[in-house]
């Protein structure tokens, strides 16, 4: 596994906890992509900070380039919105930092095997949203064309202008935009752009 956290002390603590249990390395958010390419871990264990949304973008980006990679996020707490965004980003498991070390190690092993693990104390917050097919309904299911449309929406272009640039009909572009709203679980174009940036789909 690869441990990733922007806080050096937290990163060192997690690395120490897994030193004898399959650890291949540790990194911060800025080096996560390079370390994943070099070390090819089965699982990335990432820390979640309420004041730093990069965790979602990192997971979404790594999942896009390494489809077999599994992701377990550890946080002090999580809101319903954060949990939904983690599902959309492709996070496989979520534990609280209060989890015993043995539970954390077990969760990593089971996540690597394809299971989804979540701390019981926050399971109710998901209200059924954490399901095996969830990634098929989220950002990971956006087609290349939908991502292209999202980028042009972020540039402030209208459906008609987007249609002209892509050589499509305005009706087809409207359908792509509606699909974006559904898959990203947002009510409007502004929400789609905001979530796109938060998840690292837009730069």
Does the pLDDT value for residue 133 go beyond 50?
Answer: no
* 3-state secondary structure (DSSP) of residue 192: helix
| Fold of the CATH domain 142-198 | Arc Repressor Mutant, subunit A (1.10.10)
66 pLDDT exceeds 60? Answer: yes
Tokens, residue 45: 């264990």
C-beta neighbour count of 96 within 10 angstroms = 18
Report the 10 Å Cβ neighbour count for 16.
Answer: 12
Task: Determine the topology of domain 2-134 in CATH.
Answer: Rossmann fold (3.40.50)
What tokens appear for 203 in the block?
Answer: 């730069």
| Among 11-20, 27-36, 116-125, 127-136, the range of highest mean pLDDT | 27-36
* Predicted confidence band of residue 134 (pLDDT cuts 50, 70, 90): very low
- Residue 69 structure tokens: 């990679």
Q: Please list the residue range(s) of the chain that carry CATH number 3.40.50.2300.
A: 2-134
pTM, whole model, 2 decimals? 0.62
Structure tokens at 179: 């699909």
Sheet holding 70-75, edge to edge: 25-27, 2-4, 43-48, 70-75, 93-96
Give me the percent of the chain exceeding a pLDDT of 90: 37
- Residue 138 three-state SS: coil
Categorize the per-residue pLDDT at 124 as very low, low, confident or very high, splitting at 50, 70 and 90. Answer: low
**Rounded to an integer, what distance in angstroms lies between the CA atom of residue 29 and that of residue 47?**
10
């Amino acid at each position: 596994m690869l441990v990733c956290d922007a806080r050096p002390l937290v990163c060192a603590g997690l690395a120490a906890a897994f030193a004898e249990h399959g650890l291949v390395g540790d990194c911060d958010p800025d080096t996560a992509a390079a370390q994943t390419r070099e070390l090819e871990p089965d699982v990335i264990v990432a820390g979640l900070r309420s004041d730093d949304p990069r965790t979602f973008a990192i997971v979404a980006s790594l999942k896009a380039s390494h489809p077999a990679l599994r992701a377990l996020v550890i946080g002090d707490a999580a809101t319903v919105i954060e949990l939904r965004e983690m599902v959309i980003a492709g996070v496989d498991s979520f534990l609280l930092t209060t989890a015993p070390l043995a539970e954390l190690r077990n969760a990593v092993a089971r996540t690597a095997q394809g299971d989804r693990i979540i701390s019981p104390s926050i399971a109710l917050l998901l209200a059924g949203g954490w399901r095996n097919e969830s990634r098929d309904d989220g950002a990971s299911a956006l087609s290349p064309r939908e991502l292209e449309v999202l980028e042009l929406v972020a540039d402030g272009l209208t459906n008609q202008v987007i249609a002209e640039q892509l050589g499509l009909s305005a009706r087809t572009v409207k359908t792509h935009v509606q699909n974006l709203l559904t898959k990203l679980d947002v009510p409007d174009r502004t929400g789609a752009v905001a979530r796109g940036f938060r998840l690292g789909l837009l730069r």
